[in-house]
Amino acid sequence: MWCYNILLDSARCYAIRLLIVRDVVSEIIDSNYKKEGILMCGTGIGIAITANKFPGIYAAACYDTYATKRARLSNNSIVITLGGRITSYVLTKRILKTWLSLEFRTPIRSTPKIAIIK
């Protein structure tokens, strides 16, 4: 996330992250879950946990293209999170290209799992 690159204490950085997540997921919710989101932090984990606190948001931290495919095809992720400190530029491009090229479709083997998660 961009706030790691400027001189902010960690509490302020966390507060900014929460505001960004709130704005992104609010836009998705307001669109009746038609829009999608891409979020980044140091590892992608904390921001995924934060995004998943909002109703109907399925955020997945992705580190490779296989996990990205599964997040989209098996788990219907509408938000992808990436780790800026642990994912190279080249891999980030591959992950985003993979995620954006896929669409969750029903019925599939994972449909009952998605229904239970809801």
Query: How far apart are alpha carbons 24 and 27 in whole angstroms?
Result: 5
Q: Are strands 59-61 and 79-83 parallel, antiparallel or unpaired?
A: parallel
Residues noted as catalytic: 41
Give backbone dihedrals phi and psi of 16, rounded to 5 degrees, phi first.
-65, -40
